[in-house]
Structure formats: structure tokens, C-alpha cells
Structure 1
């Protein structure tokens, strides 16, 4: 069992852990919040095959996709994101928070 609640393959676990690292570095959020956001994004999903769409993108892509609300207007790493709308984090204490905040 991992920190992620979706049914996922070993490859997807690696991708999501990279995404957690990317989100904490890019957005200054805790590892626990990053995991909670990922869990909320893919609640009830199953990613067990090599062909699953989740593996077609990298951790940078998924970080922006999960963190921001609506369409990502600019995928450039140097984009000015100051006016972008951030999705609310899942409520603390919900089932999405599977690791403690440190």
C-alpha cells in the first residue's frame, strides 16, 4: 500500500511521487498537501496498465493540472502564474490526507 488511494501500478507510484516533489518545489506546499491533492484528483481511479493516459505526461504537467483551477493557460516553466486561480486543497482530515504534515 502507498500514500495514494487510487489503484496504481509501480510505474504510476513513481510518477506520482515525482509529482509530489515537483508540487512541493514549485508551489511551496507540504508533501502531505501534495499527496492529498493527487488523491482528490484521482479518487476511485485505476491506473494499472502501461498504456494508461497518466503515463503519457510527466510530473511537471500533472503538477500544473492538479494545482490550478481550469485550463492551464501557459505550460512554459517561466510563465507568470500570479493571476492563475488555485484549486482549493481537500479539507484537512478527509480521506485524501493519507500522510501526516511535518
Structure 2
């Protein structure tokens, strides 16, 4: 799905993480869900929203210019989990 790829790219750029970690986080967030329908709820938000929502425990400010330096990232998927596909 294009939105998932775009979310991983956005997360990598916004949060300064590798593409592999961003893909793993996206995979982990939606693991086990069927997202193949064209009317999926995730399509109501863009990659910017999902990148921040998946990476940070709390999104304190949605502005692109927000200072995120003291925000707390969510723990990532465990090393060796099947979410790591790159």
C-alpha cells in the first residue's frame, strides 16, 4: 500500500531513523490487520500523521515546525521480530 511506504519514508526523514527501522515500526503498528480495503480508516489521515503517531508515545504539537527534540519515542519492535523486513 502506498500510504504505508510513504509513512515509513516520512518517519525516517522526520525522526532521523533508518528506513529499515521505520518500515519495522509501520509493520509492527499494523501487524495482523487486513488493510487491503479502499475504505480503510487509515486512509483518512496522511503519512505525516501516521509517522508521528506511530513513532512518538504522545504527539504534543502537530505543526511541522514543532520542536520534537524532547519527545519520547515509543519502543521499537524487538530485534529479530518478523517486522524487520529490510
TM range (shorter): over 0.9
In structure 1, runs of 5+ residues without a counterpart are 1-12
RMSD: 1.0
Q: TM-score, normalised by structure 1?
A: 0.79
Out of 31, 39, 48, the position equivalent to 2:27 is 39
Superposed structure 1 runs of 4+ greater than 6 Å apart: none
User: Is 1:58 aligned with 2:46?
Assistant: yes
Within a 5 Å distance, the mapping from 1:20-35 to structure 2 comes to: 20-35=8-23
Out of 56, 61, 68, the position equivalent to 1:74 is 61
Q: TM-score, normalised by structure 2?
A: 0.93
In structure 2, runs of 5+ residues without a counterpart are none
Out of 65, 68, 80, the position equivalent to 1:93 is 80
CA shift at 1:26, angstroms?
1.0
* Structure of higher CA gyration radius: 1
CA shift at 1:93, angstroms?
1.0
Give the length in aligned residue pairs: 86
